[in-house]
Chain A
Amino acid sequence: MLLIRCPYCAAERPEVEFVYAGEAHIARPSDPSALTDEQWKNHLFIRTNPRGAHFERWRHLHGCGRFFNAVRDTVTDKFAMTYRAGLPRPTASEIKEARP
């Protein structure tokens, strides 16, 4: 069972307090009607599915209830770092530095 650090509670808690919420940094378009079918399809369904660092959303459901972002390695399952929703995607060097 993973330990996950909630960036709002500033505390490490077991995985059972959290739920996964899909890939991060996919903003809903401000005017979906302006998108072509192809663009809307990409927004809805196409995900990066990387091997390695994955930017993803989690929610501290049984804690503060906040959604936040995380970088997790899809090979090892391990979290490299978590950060608050709305913050920019961390750079590779920031991820490396954050790794315990």
Chain B
Amino acid sequence: MTAYRVSGRGRVDHDRPVRFTFNGKTFEGRKGDTLASALLANGVHLVGRSFKYHRPRGILSAGSEEPNALVGVSRGDGRAEPNTRATVLEIFDGLNTASQNHWPSLKRDVGAINDALYMLFSAGFYYKTFMWPKSFWNKVYEPFIRGAAGLGKSPSVPDPDTYASRYAHCDVLVVGSGPAGLAAATEAARSGASVMLVDEQAELGGSLLGEPGADINGRPISDWLEETKAALAAQENVTVLTRTTAIGYYHDNFLGLCQRLTDHLEKLPEGAPRERMWRVRARQVVLAQGAIERPLVFDGNDRPGVMLSGSARTFLNRYGVKAGNRAAVVTAHDSAWLAAFDLAEAGVKVAAIVDVRSNASDHLLKRAKALDIEVLSGWTVTGTGGRLRISSIRANPVSGSGKVGPARKIACDTLLMCGGWTPSVHLFSHTKGKLDWNEERQMFLPGAPTEETRCAGAGNGAFGLLEAMTEGASAGAGAATDAGFEAKASTYQVDGEVPCAGVGVKELPTDRSSSRARAFVDFQNDVTAKDIRLAVREGFLSIEHIKRYTTTGMATDQGKTSNMNGLAIASDAVKRPSPAVGLTTFRPPYTPTTFGAFAGYNRGDLFEVTRRTAIDSWAEENGAVFEPVSLWRRAWYFPRPGEDMHQAVARECKATRESLGMFDASTLGKIEIVGPDAAEFMNRMYTNAWTKLAPGRLRYGLLLGEDGFIRDDGVIGRLTADRFHVTTTTGGAARVLAMMEDYLQTEWPELKVWLTSTTEQWAVIALNGPNARKLIEPLVEGIDLSNEAFPHMSVAEGTICGVPTRLFRVSFTGELGFEVNVPARYGRSVWQALNEAGQKWGITPYGTQTMHVLRAEKGYIIVGQDTDGTLTPDDAGLAWAIGKTKPDFVGKRSLTRPDIIDPNRKQLVGLVTRDPKVVLEEGAQIVANPGQPTPMKMIGHVTSSYWSETLGRSIALAVVEGGRAREGQTVHVPMPDRTHAAAIAGMVFFDPDGKRLNA
């Protein structure tokens, strides 16, 4: 038994000791303890160092609002989590934890020098310091800031755990299982509605778990709780989720619930997910989130041992732990008196209750007297003593006129404080529900809801037990009724409840200079009252600006304990009432949530689909290196043993130009456009003229947006008068089909045309090289392949290797070329047959890199690489693709807008480096004169750049202002090593007459 454990008290199992370590030292706790309660039981208050000033910090609260007690947890095998709140971390045998943000040790921390230099770190210090000399930024300031930034150590290896996710629907979702939530769930469940009841804690009960005094319906609270839990568990229409945090409330009653499944277990079950994210659509929601106790703001209020009064009460009544042996209390609210009474009755000496109010209730005074507790009404606390733990407080009387009298020192080893209670309206705020300011009670309460939701209990300002249960029952019955069930709210009887009241306060009055006071508002981000006043003095009047300038409320606790104090001090400083200053916006998640829970199953291979062609498996078996292209993976190049990428690509290019190459072009987008108005539709969509294109012929098609900029391109075949086989870029397939559907459905619904995506129906094998015809001639039936009968840009249907084909004579390399379209299921067998038959010509499979090089040698553009959404057909040198006589097509009107016909627009040109061995970087900027002062005028950039094995030199494409008129001129391309000179040239580097193409 440790010094601070109260034998037999609370809900922990006193017969089940649990051993865990904190900073390497082994401690003993009890089954049912959190790390916080177990440390307190061992007299450990100092658990961490603060973010900015490295001040020693202790345990402020007993719940998920905890700003201070953040620890690192490691379970081995790569399982590690920083910044876990000790107050929600359930202990088990072997749990290994460590404090954070100090060096070399928690007790002796060099970073604490920041605390002595606190004047330098006031609000907005990072906007004011580190400004000069400029040269210090990279080498001194930034490394320093990066080193000091952040809390805790992130894990260094991939998370070995798995995370689950699940969708669910219910009639009534109840968030929070305190008195209001339990009453609501009970009522809704009784109506027959499907109910989900969620609570972030390990067991249901909320505030009831730490509440010893009262009886509900004639039963002691703990008995009533067990009976209620059992009744809910017995109902099939009820799903109870504990250790489950409702992290966010989204549109149309959609909530995210994060359920923690294994963090509390000593042994991890094989294959069990660590957490599960529930995505729930509820017909009706009841929010019973409860309330969070507010700290008081005074000098030294962050010293270890200073704790919220209700939390001290929870530690005692739920965990059987005394926060200290000699307690002092400072409060603006009656509830702290109850904590003092409970502690005194458990044998703790309560040195004094300091109440800032001068008129304490008789019933409280009477009980204090009976317990021999000194009461200082109308007093203030102006400081605390002690280094790593509080040893005394400094208390002063305050006269009616507000004058602070002489100080008195009161010895204590813990100080309980209470500045009142803040209804937890976070989830309600997620729905953009308006908060109404209650002037009398000095608090924001939920106003008119925007969703099908009700707030009940302390979260709605109903702090009393009976009041909360009545409101909860009514909300549960109302929700069930609105969900279509019959329900009527039950009434409850509560005996022995002590009514509580309090006042709202700003910082406590002090006799000392408030500018030297270290009176913390936001413990986690180390923001003091002085910082907030400074921000206001410097002109920040909106609460949103004050928040960002001081960082109050911006830590991982989202200001659960600090927002209201920050607001009260800000509203005092700007001399406007709190509602006029306003509250900052709460955003999901309610508490820090792991990335794993959000990602769920979508990690590794399941992160995103990988589309594979019918020929992909052959490429893999034959050693291809792949690259991702939109969602596809495509063979990038096929290295032979010992070859690097450069050598492989050079070989593939050479083989294709000299004899025969084969390429898997299956990823090309394909759309079948069919119908009596197909040609008319094509005329309206594409820039080109389609009416006169004969069946059996192909044409290069260019697609613009209405703004006149190139959206997509592709070769399009007319199979019959009413049928087109459209190809699109790999990445543009879905976009182009959506655009066509849009026009067809909404602009021209009168056209009789049907659009079908056929991308995955066809496998496409591109054969290029002087021997391409020789390869397929013996394999093709039903098509005359002679140059006369089947010239460049032809399409015909027949068979190849006995399989039906749409055979295109087309080339993206400048060589004699065919694209063999076969039904996808035959893709691999036809590919293999062609590969075998092509061996006598040294047929060479090539990947996307060789395809890119070969097309660039011919000046063929790739939409999305050489164009960027701001190039017109003329900019890209494709003015020839515009049907001049067509009255209209998508984008035509824009081509005569004044800025589109400007001759100085960026135009696509070729670039030839002065040094033929230099391969420019794609994306490199281009300047006319490298001698000009910086920042230089940039006149364009490189869009494509490769080593051309065929030409024995580098080639590049670039967009340059007025580029075509500059042909022959020298421009300069600054690269990291040096600036390279290059001449502007035409875009076609190889076989400009197209002799090979038409062979």
B887 A33 Cβ-Cβ under 8 A? yes
Query: Which chain A positions have C-beta within 8 A of B892?
Result: 32-33
- Contact partner of B747 (CB less than 8 A), chosen from A2, A3, A27, A44, is A27
Assess whether B432 is interfacial by the CB under 8 Å rule: yes
Assess whether B921 is interfacial by the CB under 8 Å rule: no
Query: Which chain B positions have C-beta within 8 A of A32?
Result: 888, 892-893
B898 A2 Cβ-Cβ under 8 A? no
Assess whether B672 is interfacial by the CB under 8 Å rule: no
B432 A44 Cβ-Cβ under 8 A? no
The distance from the CB of A18 to the nearest CB of chain B, in whole angstroms, is 12
B251 A77 Cβ-Cβ under 8 A? yes
| Nearest-CB residue, chain B, relative to A1 | B254
Assess whether B250 is interfacial by the CB under 8 Å rule: yes
Query: Which chain B positions have C-beta within 8 A of A76?
Result: 432, 450
A14 to B898, CA, bound (A): 44
| Per-residue A-contact encoding for B728-750, CB less than 8 Å = 1, 0 else | 00000000001001100111010
A65 to B254, CA, bound (A): 25
Query: Which chain B positions have C-beta within 8 A of A86?
Result: 746, 749
| Nearest-CB residue, chain B, relative to A29 | B893
A44 B252 Cβ-Cβ under 8 A? no
B251 A44 Cβ-Cβ under 8 A? no
Query: Which chain B positions have C-beta within 8 A of A3?
Result: 251-252, 281
| Per-residue B-contact encoding for A60-80, CB less than 8 Å = 1, 0 else | 010001110000000011100
Q: Assuming the A-B contacts A40-B897, A76-B450, are A67 and B252 also in contact, with contact meaning beta carbons closer than 8 angstroms in the complex? A: no
B707 A66 Cβ-Cβ under 8 A? no
Assess whether B237 is interfacial by the CB under 8 Å rule: no
Assess whether B894 is interfacial by the CB under 8 Å rule: yes
The distance from the CB of A83 to the nearest CB of chain B, in whole angstroms, is 13
| Per-residue A-contact encoding for B889-927, CB less than 8 Å = 1, 0 else | 000111001100000000000000000000000000000
Query: Which chain A positions have C-beta within 8 A of B742?
Result: 21, 59, 67
| Nearest-CB residue, chain A, relative to B254 | A1
B251 A78 Cβ-Cβ under 8 A? yes
The distance from the CB of B557 to the nearest CB of chain A, in whole angstroms, is 27
Assess whether B706 is interfacial by the CB under 8 Å rule: yes
| Per-residue A-contact encoding for B147-168, CB less than 8 Å = 1, 0 else | 0000000000000000000000
A2 B893 Cβ-Cβ under 8 A? no
B747 A28 Cβ-Cβ under 8 A? yes
A44 B706 Cβ-Cβ under 8 A? yes
Assess whether A97 is interfacial by the CB under 8 Å rule: no
Query: Which chain B positions have C-beta within 8 A of A85?
Result: 745-746
Query: Which chain B positions have C-beta within 8 A of A59?
Result: 738, 741-742
A67 B745 Cβ-Cβ under 8 A? yes
B746 A67 Cβ-Cβ under 8 A? yes
Query: Which chain B positions have C-beta within 8 A of A67?
Result: 741-742, 745-746
| Per-residue B-contact encoding for A33-75, CB less than 8 Å = 1, 0 else | 1010100110010000000000001010100011100000000
A79 to B894, CA, bound (A): 34
| Nearest-CB residue, chain A, relative to B737 | A65
Of the candidates A15, A44, A61, A85, the one having the most CB atoms from chain B within 10 angstroms of its own CB is A44
Query: Which chain B positions have C-beta within 8 A of A27?
Result: 747
Chain B stretch 238-266: residues in CB contact (< 8 A) with chain A: 250-252, 254
Query: Which chain A positions have C-beta within 8 A of B747?
Result: 27-28
| Per-residue A-contact encoding for B271-285, CB less than 8 Å = 1, 0 else | 000000001010000
Query: Which chain A positions have C-beta within 8 A of B745?
Result: 66-67, 85
Of the candidates B251, B747, B892, the one having the most CB atoms from chain A within 10 angstroms of its own CB is B251
A66 to B744, CA, bound (A): 11
Chain B stretch 442-458: residues in CB contact (< 8 A) with chain A: 450
Q: Assuming the A-B contacts A1-B250, A2-B251, A86-B749, are A65 and B887 also in contact, with contact meaning beta carbons closer than 8 angstroms in the complex? A: no
Query: Which chain A positions have C-beta within 8 A of B897?
Result: 37, 40-41
The distance from the CB of A6 to the nearest CB of chain B, in whole angstroms, is 14
Chain B stretch 704-743: residues in CB contact (< 8 A) with chain A: 706-707, 738, 741-742
Chain A stretch 13-28: residues in CB contact (< 8 A) with chain B: 14-15, 19, 21, 27-28
Query: Which chain A positions have C-beta within 8 A of B251?
Result: 1-3, 15, 77-78
The distance from the CB of B278 to the nearest CB of chain A, in whole angstroms, is 13
The distance from the CB of B434 to the nearest CB of chain A, in whole angstroms, is 11
B888 A33 Cβ-Cβ under 8 A? yes
Query: Which chain B positions have C-beta within 8 A of A40?
Result: 893-894, 897
A33 B250 Cβ-Cβ under 8 A? no
- Contact partner of B252 (CB less than 8 A), chosen from A1, A28, A31, A33, is A1
B254 A35 Cβ-Cβ under 8 A? no
Query: Which chain A positions have C-beta within 8 A of B252?
Result: 1-3
Query: Which chain B positions have C-beta within 8 A of A28?
Result: 706, 747
| Nearest-CB residue, chain A, relative to B747 | A28
| Nearest-CB residue, chain A, relative to B741 | A65
| Nearest-CB residue, chain A, relative to B279 | A1
The distance from the CB of A60 to the nearest CB of chain B, in whole angstroms, is 11
Query: Which chain B positions have C-beta within 8 A of A31?
Result: 887-888
| Nearest-CB residue, chain A, relative to B708 | A44
Query: Which chain A positions have C-beta within 8 A of B887?
Result: 31, 33
B741 A33 Cβ-Cβ under 8 A? no
Of the candidates A15, A28, A76, the one having the most CB atoms from chain B within 10 angstroms of its own CB is A28
| Nearest-CB residue, chain A, relative to B893 | A32
Query: Which chain A positions have C-beta within 8 A of B279?
Result: 1
The distance from the CB of A29 to the nearest CB of chain B, in whole angstroms, is 8
A61 to B734, CA, bound (A): 11
The distance from the CB of A55 to the nearest CB of chain B, in whole angstroms, is 14
| Nearest-CB residue, chain A, relative to B167 | A14
The distance from the CB of B659 to the nearest CB of chain A, in whole angstroms, is 46
A88 to B254, CA, bound (A): 32
B707 A44 Cβ-Cβ under 8 A? yes
| Nearest-CB residue, chain B, relative to A27 | B747
The distance from the CB of A15 to the nearest CB of chain B, in whole angstroms, is 8
The distance from the CB of A78 to the nearest CB of chain B, in whole angstroms, is 7
A66 to B281, CA, bound (A): 25
Query: Which chain B positions have C-beta within 8 A of A66?
Result: 745
Chain B stretch 910-956: residues in CB contact (< 8 A) with chain A: none
Query: Which chain B positions have C-beta within 8 A of A37?
Result: 897-898
| Per-residue A-contact encoding for B380-406, CB less than 8 Å = 1, 0 else | 000000000000000000000000000
The distance from the CB of A33 to the nearest CB of chain B, in whole angstroms, is 6
The distance from the CB of B585 to the nearest CB of chain A, in whole angstroms, is 14
A93 to B279, CA, bound (A): 35
| Nearest-CB residue, chain A, relative to B892 | A32
A77 to B250, CA, bound (A): 11
| Nearest-CB residue, chain B, relative to A21 | B742
A76 to B432, CA, bound (A): 8
| Nearest-CB residue, chain B, relative to A19 | B738
| Nearest-CB residue, chain B, relative to A69 | B746
A32 to B889, CA, bound (A): 9
Of the candidates B250, B747, B893, B897, the one having the most CB atoms from chain A within 10 angstroms of its own CB is B893
A69 to B897, CA, bound (A): 30
Query: Which chain B positions have C-beta within 8 A of A35?
Result: 893
Q: Assuming the A-B contacts A21-B742, A66-B745, A67-B746, are A44 and B894 also in contact, with contact meaning beta carbons closer than 8 angstroms in the complex? A: yes
Chain B stretch 859-890: residues in CB contact (< 8 A) with chain A: 887-888
Query: Which chain A positions have C-beta within 8 A of B432?
Result: 76
Query: Which chain B positions have C-beta within 8 A of A15?
Result: 251
A3 to B706, CA, bound (A): 31
The distance from the CB of A62 to the nearest CB of chain B, in whole angstroms, is 12
> Told that A33-B893, A41-B897, A65-B741 touch, could you supply 10 new A-B pairs with CB distance under 8 A?
A1-B251, A1-B254, A2-B252, A3-B252, A3-B281, A31-B888, A37-B898, A40-B897, A44-B894, A78-B450
Residue contacts A-B, CB under 8 angstroms, 29 given: A1-B254, A1-B279, A14-B281, A21-B742, A27-B747, A28-B706, A28-B747, A32-B888, A33-B892, A35-B893, A40-B893, A40-B894, A40-B897, A44-B706, A44-B894, A57-B746, A59-B741, A59-B742, A61-B738, A65-B741, A67-B741, A67-B742, A67-B746, A76-B432, A78-B251, A78-B450, A85-B746, A86-B746, A86-B749
Interface residues, chain A, with chain B CB atoms under 8 Å away: 1-3, 14-15, 19, 21, 27-28, 31-33, 35, 37, 40-41, 44, 57, 59, 61, 65-67, 76-78, 85-86
Minimum-distance CB pairs A-B, first 4 = A32-B893, A3-B252, A2-B251, A1-B254
